[in-house]
Amino acid sequence: MSAVLTVTFWGVRGSYPAPGSHTQRVGGNTPCVEVRAGNHRLILDAGTGLIGLGRALMAEYRNDKKPITATLLFSHTHHDHTQGFPFFTPLYLPSTTLYVFGPRTLHEDLEQVLSRAMLPPVFPITLDQLPCVRVMRNLSEGEVVTLNNGNSEPRVMLEHRDALPASSDAVLVRVMRSYAHPQGVFIYRIEYDNQAIVYATDTEGYTSSDQRLIRFARGAGLLIHDAQYTESEYASTVAPRQGWGHSTWQMAVGVAQAAGVQRLALFHHEPEHEDDALEKLEQDAQAHFPATVLAREGMQIELK
Ligand SMILES: [Zn+2]
Ligand SMILES: [Zn+2]
């Protein structure tokens, strides 16, 4: 049975890149997750992990000469989720088409925010100078991005107004806006052929868990959830992390259990945490929710 959804982790680290021998097993690049669904390629966030994905796509392109097409979904536009974008080499091919979606933040369109991050003197060229074809659009909660089989161009539909296609005929991307992160964050649910993955990075748990997120993640095959802090870091009286918009593994496990997901991937690792500490954290989480994995760079999960 071939995979319905194939998830590849290209960057799993939160806040800033953390290269070095102490992070080699888990990986030091910031968030980027690739999801293959049918003949579509979706990319969640453009942290520095996107650079490695770009390299892989360029190798494919040199081989088969097929133009690169992808749908890029931003959870939000903090540095660690955008920094790989200007170094995504397929952007420099005129034959590439990129559909880009994300939130409007602080009264600014996604395109405005991205173009300000890519502008002299902070970057040598502007967004407008990129030769690829780009379609950029803000999303709102209640909108659903649909990608039909056989058509690479995504459509945006309204959940409560439009007749959505069946998930056997199209990939559906649902959006939940969370306020459990400074300036807000989008949580995405990608559905295809009775399978679903939920990408919930940069989100902080609530007392008795985030009930909206639990409903949104209900029954997913894979939940990718922020797990940046240990409980002692989160509750530290010296440097408390409460309110910074990130979770502990206990918060991630709480959502996974209540939503009845099949698997949980702990994500957005604290850059100060070394491999040994993260692997210990993985074991601790597995004692409570056995189907937990620590997201590692290069790891692939197939949902069938
Ligand atoms: Zn982040
Ligand atoms: Zn953030």
227-244 confidence digits (pLDDT tens): 999 999 999 988 889 999
Spatial distance between the Cα atoms of 129 and 92, rounded to a whole number of angstroms: 9
For residues 153-158, give the mean pLDDT: 95
How much distance in Å is there from the Cα of 62 to the middle of ligand 1?
32
8-43 confidence digits (pLDDT tens): 999 999 999 999 999 999 999 999 999 999 889 999
Task: Looking at the CA of 226, name the nearest ligand.
Answer: 1
pLDDT at 117: 87
pLDDT band at 2 (very low <50, low <70, confident <90, very high): confident
Task: Looking at the CA of 83, name the nearest ligand.
Answer: 1
Task: Looking at the CA of 186, name the nearest ligand.
Answer: 2
pLDDT band at 149 (very low <50, low <70, confident <90, very high): confident
pLDDT band at 152 (very low <50, low <70, confident <90, very high): confident
How much distance in Å is there from the Cα of 77 to the middle of ligand 1?
9
Spatial distance between the Cα atoms of 211 and 84, rounded to a whole number of angstroms: 32
How much distance in Å is there from the Cα of 202 to the middle of ligand 1?
5
Sequence-ordered alpha helix ranges (H) in the chain: 49-64, 110-116, 211-217, 231-234, 249-259, 275-288
User: Which residue carries 């003197």 as its tokens?
Assistant: 121
Lowest mean pLDDT across 37-41, 220-224, 253-257, 259-263: 37-41
How much distance in Å is there from the Cα of 63 to the middle of ligand 2?
36
The domain 5-303 is classified under which CATH number: 3.40.50.80, 3.20.20.70, 3.40.50.720, 3.60.15.10? 3.60.15.10
Q: Give me the chain's average pLDDT, please.
A: 96
User: Which residue carries 């974008």 as its tokens?
Assistant: 85
Task: Looking at the CA of 81, name the nearest ligand.
Answer: 1
Residue 213: what are its φ and ψ, rounded to 5°?
Answer: -65, -40
How much distance in Å is there from the Cα of 196 to the middle of ligand 2?
24
For residues 144-154, give the mean pLDDT: 89
For residues 204-223, give the mean pLDDT: 96
Task: Looking at the CA of 12, name the nearest ligand.
Answer: 1
The predicted model scores a pTM of 0.97
pLDDT at 77: 96
Of 183, 173, 180, the closest CA to residue 255 belongs to 180
User: Which residue carries 């996604």 as its tokens?
Assistant: 110
For residues 84-96, give the mean pLDDT: 97
How much distance in Å is there from the Cα of 65 to the middle of ligand 1?
34
pLDDT band at 102 (very low <50, low <70, confident <90, very high): very high
How much distance in Å is there from the Cα of 246 to the middle of ligand 2?
8
Contacts of 188 (CB under 8 A, 6+ apart): 44, 73, 75, 173, 174, 175, 176, 198, 199
Task: Looking at the CA of 16, name the nearest ligand.
Answer: 1
How much distance in Å is there from the Cα of 227 to the middle of ligand 2?
13
